[in-house]
Amino acid sequence: MRRDQVADATDGHPVLHLRERGGEGDVEACVGVLAQVHKADGYPVNWPAEPGAWLAGTASLSAWVAELDGRVVGHVSLAPGAAGDVAPGLWSARAGVDVRTTAVVGRLFVAPDARGHGIGALLMGRATREARARGLHPVLDVVSSDASAAALYERLGWRLLDVVEQEWQPGGRVTLRCYAAPPAD
């Protein structure tokens, strides 16, 4: 069995399942979880005016949700690099390839009450495998103040490309840690 799938539990352990994000019902459930994450952790830094549209995005290649005992508790997406994304340019320049050979892992979050089950790592693994199946190299950036996310990426072997300053809104500068996935096995 792959690491991103968990069989039905018969011994009382929680049942974890990853699947592609579905329609509006999944987006609404994810927005509810995202609101919990924002309250607990401040992610996303700037709460979007339309969180469902922000989450679903128009350029997404794919997205997945994690369910724990049938309840949506996590999310990750994979998208092509967009204007303002720093990590794709850093990695492509370093690797000597076109920036279009990257895919950005983003919108990763896990409900505060569902942490400790390895859900974030499973979601990252799923997005990474999909990027590679498409012939793309996964990259991401994270606000440097999100130490727990950076620690997860580093535990998973992601390599820090650079730490950069970026203006996200007039007068609103953030420091980003840009990462690239480790080479494929």
Burial class (CB in 10 A: 0-12, 13-18, 19+), 134: middle
**Rounded Cα gap, residues 13 and 10, in angstroms:** 7
Cis? peptide before 44, omega within 30° of 0: yes
- pLDDT values of the chain reduced to their tens digit, one per residue, 185 residues: 344 444 444 456 678 999 999 999 999 999 999 999 999 999 998 899 999 999 987 678 999 999 999 999 999 999 998 777 899 999 999 999 999 999 999 999 999 999 999 999 999 999 999 999 999 999 999 999 899 999 999 999 999 999 999 887 777 788 999 999 998 87
Q: What SS3 class is residue 30?
A: helix
